[in-house]
């Protein structure tokens, strides 16, 4: 175990309160923090380049061993507003879905919803750079994160994947959780959790900072209503159900 805890975190708006906690709590002296897209967080944890990652939960079956660190997550109860299937045609006219390379969880989620909830059978293809330009006619695409904030006028049909999951299962959805694959002392884990909670307690300061970066987006509503940060029992039930589908 390294003396410095190597941590990878998603550099999306939805993780900024958690980042704030890690950067402004005394634990900042004990961690090396890298900010990545979700798929890179996952890759670093899988390859043991970090000790803890805020990673897409779809990688859990690929980890030889894992432990959920703390009691926070990136989740939603119903509409999340930043994990979307975008299309110019309704669901049953979609022939192809381009899968955002940023996150495995969203990729798995749209495939589960297509098969079991929407009952559609499009071709799924991996996205390349600038794939958003290919979303036209009967080709839809999954878009996640900060890139979703100003899409409302671009597509005739936008399906919120978390809202669809809730309509399907009546359970919340967990997109990412803090996972560790190395032994972390209980003391350090407690301090890590404290730092995250510190960030959540200062969410108004985070909102003030981020509103300047996203001046045309309602950051307050997004972070206080769309995103759920507490990994409670309902969230865990939703996570277990999702994992049962992907296994």
The model's pLDDT over 189-238, given as tens digits with 9 standing for 90+, comes to: 999 999 999 999 999 999 999 999 999 999 999 999 999 999 999 999 99
Mean pLDDT score of the chain, rounded to an integer? 94
In this prediction, residues 123-150 reach a mean pLDDT of 93
Measured from the Cβ of residue 244, the count of other Cβ atoms closer than 10 Å reads 8
Which tens digits make up the pLDDT trace of 41-96?
999 999 999 999 999 999 999 888 778 998 999 999 999 999 999 999 999 999 99
Residue 153: helix, strand or coil by DSSP? coil
Q: 96: left (phi > 0), else alpha (psi -120 to 50), else beta?
A: beta
Is the pTM of the predicted complex or chain greater than 0.85?
yes
Measured between alpha carbons, how far is residue 47 from residues 8, 44, 52, 129, 154 in Å? 12, 5, 12, 24, 38
Residue 7: pLDDT band with limits 50, 70, 90: very high
What is the model's pLDDT at position 2?
A: 55
Residue 150: pLDDT band with limits 50, 70, 90: confident
| Contact between 234 and 169 (Cβ < 8 Å) | no
* Alpha-carbon gap, residue 68 to 74, rounded angstroms: 13
Measured from the Cβ of residue 7, the count of other Cβ atoms closer than 10 Å reads 25
| Contact between 8 and 54 (Cβ < 8 Å) | yes
User: 5-75+172-246 and 83-169: same fold?
Assistant: yes
Residue ranges covered by each domain of the chain: 5-75+172-246, 83-169
Fold of 83-169: D-Maltodextrin-Binding Protein; domain 2 (3.40.190)
Q: State the first-to-last Cα distance of the chain, in angstroms, to the nearest integer.
A: 30
CATH node for 5-75+172-246: 3.40.190.10
- Is it the case that residue 170 has pLDDT exceeding 90? yes
- Is it the case that residue 186 has pLDDT exceeding 70? yes
């Amino acid at each position: 175990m390294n003396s410095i805890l190597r941590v990878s975190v998603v550099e999306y708006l939805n993780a900024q309160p958690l980042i704030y906690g890690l950067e402004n709590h005394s634990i900042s002296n004990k961690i090396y923090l890298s900010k990545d897209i979700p798929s890179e967080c996952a890759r670093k944890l899988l390859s043991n380049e970090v000790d803890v990652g805020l990673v897409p939960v779809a990688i859990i079956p690929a980890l030889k061993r894992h432990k959920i660190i703390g009691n926070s997550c990136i989740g939603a109860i119903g509409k999340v507003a930043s994990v979307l299937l975008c299309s110019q045609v309704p669901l049953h006219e979609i022939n192809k879905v381009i899968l955002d390379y940023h996150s495995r969880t969203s990729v798995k989620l749209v495939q589960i919803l297509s098969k079991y909830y929407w009952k559609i059978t499009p071709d799924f293809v991996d996205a390349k750079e600038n794939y958003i330009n290919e979303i036209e006619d009967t080709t839809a695409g999954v878009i996640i994160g900060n890139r979703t904030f100003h899409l409302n006028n671009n597509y005739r049909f936008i399906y919120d994947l978390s809202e669809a999951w809730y309509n399907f299962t009546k359970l919340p959805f967990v997109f990412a959780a803090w996972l560790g694959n190395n032994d972390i002392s209980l003391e350090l884990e407690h301090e890590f959790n404290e730092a995250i909670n510190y960030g959540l307690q200062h969410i108004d300061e985070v909102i003030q900072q981020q509103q300047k970066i996203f001046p045309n987006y309602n950051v307050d509503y997004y972070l206080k209503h769309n995103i759920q940060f507490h990994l409670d029992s309902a969230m865990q039930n939703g996570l277990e159900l999702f994992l049962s589908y992907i296994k």
